Amino acid sequence: MALRLSSIISSTVIRRRLPLVGAFCVLSLGLSNLCPYISLSSKTGCAQSLPLVPRLRSQHRSNHSIKMESKTVPCIVVYVTVPNKEAGKKLAESIVKERLAACVNRVPGVESVYEWKGEIQTDSEELLIIKTRESLLDALTEHVRKNHEYEVPEVIALPITGGNHPYLEWLKNSTRD
């Protein structure tokens, strides 16, 4: 029996228990890749407007999708992890002050598991979600390298393929050329 997308998304159990990392997986990998058994017969517009859900878009074209307009500069979302709240606040403020990004979200409580120098490490970190122009990635990466305490800081960029046009215009106008 196929589950309806709207019943899964509106479920209070899912909303309360879906971990933050799970939300990032849904945004990055796409709902259709994570839950292929979901029936997409009910068009809610919710999952279809996610920018990184190519399978959903190809199967169900909808007027709910907002595509990047050509008059907006190419924009990206950049993930950077930092060791603690103080480091996150300092780096986020310096990035915005230098107009390397329009906005930096600080997400506390991220637990990272990784291999470093031959050993498995587990650390509690804060995730910075940085919205900026694609043309500023090199300058942003250099700024992070100079102002980050990690030997090899994480700087991962993802393209913004669509969104609220006034927000994207604000992003463009809030960053340096």
CA 110/CA 81 separation, integer angstroms: 9
CATH class of domain segment(s) 75-173: alpha beta
Residues 88, 128 contacting (CB under 8 angstroms): yes
Residue spans of the domains in the chain: they are 3-59, 75-173
Residue 42 has what DSSP assignment? S
Whether residue 73 is predicted with pLDDT greater than 80 in this model: the reply is: yes
Whether residue 72 is predicted with pLDDT greater than 90 in this model: the reply is: no
Report the chain's mean pLDDT, rounded to a whole number. Answer: 75
Q: Give the least confident one: 36-45, 53-62, 150-159.
A: 36-45
What's the pLDDT at 114? Answer: 95
Task: Give the angle subtended at the CA of 176 by the CAs of 174 and 177, to the nearest 5°.
Answer: 120
What's the pLDDT at 33? Answer: 45
Q: Is 45 exposed, middle or buried (0-12, 13-18, 19+ CB in 10 A)?
A: exposed
**Residue 82: enclosing H or E segment and its boundaries?**
strand 75-82
